[in-house]
Amino acid sequence: MTAPTLRPVVGRPFVGSRRRTAPRPALAFAVVLAGAVPMASPAIGADDTFTLSASQVFQFDDNVYRVAPGVRPFGQSPGDRISVTSLRAAFDRQYSRQRLRASADFARIGFERFDSLNYDTQGGELRWDWALGRLLSGRLSFDQTQTARDLADVGGSRSSIVTSRSLQFGGDLWWHPDWSVGAAIERYTATYSDAASQASDYEALRPELRLTYRPRSGNQIALVGRFTDGTYPNRQANVLSDDGFEQTDLQLSGRWQLTGHSRLSGYAGFTRRQHPNLTNRDYAGPTGRLTYDWTPTGKLALSTTVRREIGARDDLFDNFVVTRAASITPSWAVSGRVLVQATAEWRERDFRGDPGLLAGSASSDGDITRTYTLSLNYSPIDPLRLGVSLSRYRRTSDSASTEYTANVGMLSAQYQF
C-alpha cells in the first residue's frame, strides 16, 4: 500500500446539493479528525478492495449542555470527559464499467459523568455506480446515518438521535461528449429517538432534472431543477402547525478549476418553500453554497466557504431556519506526515420559519455562533493517524438563556488494517 501523505486540506469536490445531518460540533470534529480527512487516500487498486479501520477519540468539553454562563445543569459542573470509539469497514471495487461500494460504521459515545447522554450509532452505505455503454450512466444507492443533535438546541438530560435514510436512483444520457441530460429521484426519511422530537419526524420525495456540461478539462456545470414534497407524519395540520410543505429549487451547480492553483465549487440558485396553513413561514429567495480553494504551494492551502441556506441539515436537521455562514480554513503541511490546520467560522441563524423543534427558539429570533479550531495531525507510520485539537464555540443571541461559550480539547487515533 502506498504510504499516506499529509497534505493541506481544501474543500471537497462538489457532489450535489444534498445536505447531511451533523453531530454536535465537538463530536463532529472528532469524527473528522479521527477519519481520513487529513490524509490523501491512494487510488483504489486490487489490494484496496476491502478496508477496516478503528479509531478512538478522548475529548474534554467544559460545557456539554451548552448552557449560559453561571448555569449548572442538574446542579453539576457543566464539563465532562467524552470517549468516542468507532469501527468502519468499507468495500470498493470496479467491475468493468460498474463500480460497487459498501460501508458499515459503528460508534459508541460515552460520557464520564453525564452518562445518561451515552449512545451508540450505526451507519452504512450501499452504492452502485452503473453504466450502460458509453452514453448512459448513473447511480443507485441507499445510506443510513445516525447522529446526535446539538445539545445547545435540545432540552432534557438524554441525547436525541436522528436516524436519516436515503434511497436514490438517477441517470444521465451523454448525447454529446461534453453534454448530458439527466433525472434522479430520492426518498428521504428522518426519525428522532426522543419522544419530544417525534413530531418532527420527516419524510420527503425529491425528483430532479438536470442539464450538465462537462468538457474534457474535467470542469463541470449543471443546471438543476428540483421539487421536494415534504411531510411530517406525526403532526396534525392546524392553525399552529403544518403537516408538510412543498419546495422548489432552481440551481446552477458545479466545480471549475480557475487556475492551476485555485478551484471554485458549489451551487447558487433560488428556493421557494410553501406551507399549506402557516403562510408566514413561506420563503422565497436566493440560496447557495460556494467554496473557493487555493493551493499556492504544495505545502500551503486555503479554503473559504460562504453559504445561505434554509433548513440546512448540518445546522438544524429538518427545521426551516435561514442560515448564513462564512468560514476560512488555512492548512500547512509541515512535512509529508505532519499537518497543521485552523478553522474560523461565523454562522447566523434566523428562526423566522422555525416550526418549533428548537428548544427555547420561541423566545429568540435568531443567534450568531463563532467557532475557532486549531489542530495538529501526525502519521508516524503508514496505517496510524494521530491528532490533537483545541476548539472554542461562542454563541450570542437576543435571548440571554440561549447564549453560551464552550471550549473543547481532543486527542484522537485511527488505525487502518
Tens digit of pLDDT for each residue in 83-120?
Answer: 999 999 999 999 999 999 999 999 999 999 999 999 99
Span 65-75, average pLDDT: 88
- pLDDT greater than 90 at residue 239: no
Percent of the residues in the chain that have a pLDDT greater than 70, as a whole number: 82
More confident residue, 320 or 331: 331
Q: How confident is the model at residue 352 (pLDDT cuts 50, 70, 90)?
A: low
HEC string for the chain: CCCCEECCCCCCCCCCCCCCCCCCHHHHHHHHHHCCCCEECCCCCHHHCEEEEEEEEEEEECCCCCCCCCCCHHHCCCCEEEEEEEEEEEEEEEECCEEEEEEEEEEEEEECCCHHHCEEEEEEEEEEEEEECCCEEEEEEEEEEEEECCHHHCCCCCCCEEEEEEEEEEEEEEEECCEEEEEEEEEEEEEECCHHHHHHCEEEEEEEEEEEECCCCCCEEEEEEEEEEEECCCCCCECCECCEEEEEEEEEEEEEEEECCEEEEEEEEEEEEECCCCHHHCEEEEEEEEEEEECCCCCEEEEEEEEEEECCHHHHCCCCCEEEEEEEEEEEECCCCEEEEEEEEEEEEEHHHCCCCCCCHHHCCEEEEEEEEEEEEECCCCCEEEEEEEEEEEEEECCHHHCEEEEEEEEEEEEEC
pTM of this prediction exceeds 0.85: no
Q: How confident is the model at residue 40 (pLDDT cuts 50, 70, 90)?
A: very low
Q: What is the pLDDT of residue 359?
A: 47
Tens digit of pLDDT for each residue in 360-414?
Answer: 444 557 889 999 999 999 999 999 999 999 999 999 988 888 899 999 999 999 9
Tens digit of pLDDT for each residue in 53-64?
Answer: 999 999 999 999
Q: What is the pLDDT of residue 48?
A: 65
Task: Give the other-Cβ count within 10 Å of 28's Cβ.
Answer: 16
Mean pLDDT of the chain: 85
Q: What is the pLDDT of residue 3?
A: 43
